[in-house]
Amino acid sequence: MATGAFSSENKPKIIIVGAGLSGLTAGYRLQQMGHDVQVYEARHRPGGRVLSVKIGESYEELGGENFLHGNEGRYSLKLMKELNLETLHFEKPFSCVYTNNEQTVSCAEVINKFKNPPDLWKVMEETASCSTNLQEVIDSVFKEDPELCAILTRCLTTYEGSDAEKLDPSCIDSLYEIFLLFQNLSVGDNSKIEGMKRLCLKGGNAKLPLALSNKLEHKIQYGSVLTALRKEQKKIVLTFNRNQEISADIVLLTIPCSLYRDIEFASNTIPQEQLLEIKNVQYGTNAKILFPVTIKNKKYDFMVLPHCVSWLNEDDSIVTFYMGGKQGILDLKRAKFLFDQEIPFLIKEEGDIQINVNKMEEGNDAQLSSYEGAVFKSWIKDPYAKGSYSNRDIGKSALLNEIITVRGEEVRNIFRPVRDQIFFAGEHTTILPVLGTLESAIESGERTARLIEKSLKGFDISIQ
């Protein structure tokens, strides 16, 4: 029986677990294809690790920020246009400085002092082949330039989300990308870096998951935490909140791999070896602190500070402190401590700046909430994320990067479908080169919806 020819009585029931960008995108597409879709979400809001807030008159992000990161935002832009969402697409010149407890230097100056070998990539490859982790690569390749070492380590930690000593040496692609970013954007006066491109949504990135959730009106069940999964005859039975059982013909899991350890999977669901591989995917520990400022005669837009990186928003009214690795594990006490540590460096370098903060609070789990002072979010502390985004753990790169083809669609082998009944989506499942982005989440939702559609061609419940 061809897809689209199902009667209301024999339509396969599809349950999507997770109302982040990948789950909502897949649900939206499957609904367009005429399928019976229900989405179950642990939170009481859509968006997952997209969390927009309002500070003063500015909309800022405690989660995913730039839709251009990875694939130039092609999937994101197509979806935004389709949903009639207004984008903010700009290229803002900015200057960059590195500071520690002893000195402050222009990042461009540091880069320009580096004695670049004829083929830096080849040097990185050779070093990575005999290194245990990425920090060893950084320390070896840039050992003659301790300032550059510090800049790249700090930026790499926030870029990937984990400390460099916990990243596979194959992450030299990220390291090289960051180096080229600084190198290519440096200009002749050794003080400027310009041309950083950004794509976001007017009114906050939450506008996208909110628009998708509106398209799936009455199809999303919030406050539903998946606690168990089993196969029972021809159906997949899901248990939510430990007491609510729902059966489905198709299940799409879009939750972070970091949550799989909290779910009881029966032995007849996901093969044990595959399940263990999924559970062992590593996640970063990124966190953000956002706070309002008033600044005159701005000197720098971007700073590499001792424990984080920081930047100014489009209208220079909000500063973001962004950290990863050990520094990203924050509670209120730790957030205040880190804030107090970094602020003196910010004031010292910017000079004519007023920090408009009378209190700090943890961001609540609601889209577009308003705040007057500083607000922070530590994703490793979030019970429905337990980490920021996936990355390549030591020794796991080859496993994570293996691509196979299923029904004409490429999938990462670790996230291959199980018996055409259990499917996987999310930024961690993307076939794009860069994991952990808004674009990769949307790509995975689009592709997995197509894969489910193909698997359902000829689907007949009576013979399953």
Closest alpha carbon to 323 in 284, 359, 374, 350: 284
69 pLDDT band, cuts 50/70/90, is confident
Q: Which two tokens stand for residue 421?
A: 């009944």
What pLDDT, on the 0 to 100 scale, is given for residue 333? Answer: 97
1 pLDDT band, cuts 50/70/90, is very low
Residues of the chain above pLDDT 70, percent? 94
Range with lowest mean pLDDT among 19-33, 93-107, 135-149, 268-282 = 93-107
Q: Which two tokens stand for residue 108?
A: 């461009």
Q: At what angle do helices 74-82 and 207-215 cross, to 10 degrees?
A: 60
C-alpha–C-alpha distance, residues 409 and 419, integer Å: 16
Q: State pLDDT tens for residues 374-433.
A: 999 999 999 999 999 999 999 999 999 999 999 999 999 999 999 999 999 999 999 999
Burial class (CB in 10 A: 0-12, 13-18, 19+), 126: middle
pLDDT at position 92 over 70: no
Q: What separation in angstroms does the CA of 194 have from each of 112, 152, 187?
A: 15, 18, 8
Closest alpha carbon to 455 in 412, 414, 415, 422: 422
Instruction: Taking residues 54-83, report their average pLDDT.
Output: 93
Q: Residue 378's beta-bridge partner residues?
A: 287
Closest alpha carbon to 419 in 449, 459, 389, 450: 459
Instruction: Taking residues 85-100, report their average pLDDT.
Output: 82
C-alpha–C-alpha distance, residues 137 and 177, integer Å: 14
C-alpha–C-alpha distance, residues 357 and 335, integer Å: 13
C-alpha–C-alpha distance, residues 267 and 231, integer Å: 9
The DSSP annotation for 139-193 comes to HHHTTT-HHHHHHHHHHHHHHHSS-GGGB-GGGHHHHHHHHHHHHHHB-TTSS-E
What pLDDT, on the 0 to 100 scale, is given for residue 2? Answer: 37
